[in-house]
Amino acid sequence: EPAVAAPSDAAGDQQTPLLILLNDGAFRTCNPWRGAGVAVPVFSLRSRRSMGVGDFADLRLLVDLAASSGLRMVQLLPINDTCVHGTWWDSYPYSSLSVFALHPMYLRVEELAPRGHSLPPEIAADLEAHRAALEALPAVDYQATVAAKLK
């Protein structure tokens, strides 16, 4: 039942607004929660199996490290697809073309084979050649990484 506070006209003020307060039970106060965590861009999570940049599979390593360190959160910089022009212009993570599509750059292509199967040898060899070339670079080559993963 709403609580109603009638306007006071003790001072003769007829312009005081009427206050109606209704609690429908939808609002819940939360207990204060605190936790430590880490915020990272996925491309920086490079492992020995990465191809040019860190990928979604590398997140497992970070989550395990965070948990063993007592951290309770892992925040990722944007991971949405930004491939519009096919150039380095697409590397800006805050200009996504979809809120649903994930960026193909963060795929671990070898894991796209069905469970219990491996990629055909010629595809696996091609991926390994790209991986070795991209990992040998001193910095991320956005265009080459995306091209290799979409090939």
Q: pTM score, two decimals?
A: 0.70
Q: Is 4 helix (H, G, I), strand (E, B) or coil?
A: strand
Lowest pLDDT segment from 5-9, 26-30, 79-83, 85-89? 5-9
**Nearest alpha carbon to residue 110 among 98, 132, 125:** 125
User: If you ran DSSP here, which 8-state letter would residue 112 be given?
Assistant: G
Q: If you average pLDDT over residues 2-19, what whole number do you get?
A: 61
Amino acid at 150: L
Each residue of 81-119: pLDDT tens digit?
Answer: 888 888 888 888 888 888 899 999 999 998 888 888 989
CA pair distance 75, 143, nearest whole angstrom: 25
| Residue 50: count of CB within 10 angstroms of its CB | 19
Q: If you average pLDDT over residues 118-140, what whole number do you get?
A: 93
